[in-house]
Amino acid sequence: MDGPRTRLALQAWTVLVLAFLFFPLVLIFVYAFNSSNIESWPLPGLTLRWLNVTWNDDQVRRSLLLSLQAGLTATGIALLLGS
């Protein structure tokens, strides 16, 4: 049952699943640099404007800080309990 066709089918299935999972992330990453206000394809240009707008938003920075604090706290607790 572990023939070459089975291995090839499993490898193809793995590639399809990974593409299904990562394609939306790559698409969002590409749209983060879109110079237009409207999502269109092909992109009219690339810019860092949206990153600047996001970074200057106080709520986004506070959310990022809270996420980092929660992650570090959870990591510390897991290290203590796992030791």
Domain boundaries, the chain: 1-47, 49-83
- 19 to each of 9, 24, 27, 45, how far by Cα in Å? 15, 9, 12, 25
Q: Using CA of residue 28, residue 32, residue 34, residue 40, what is the dihedral sign?
A: positive
pLDDT in tens, the chain (83 residues): 678 889 999 999 999 999 999 999 998 888 877 777 777 677 777 778 888 888 898 999 999 999 999 999 999 999 999 98
Cβ-proximal residues to 60 (8 Å cutoff; 6+ apart), any chain? 54
Distance (Å, whole) CA 21 – CA 16 = 9
pTM above 0.75, yes or no: no
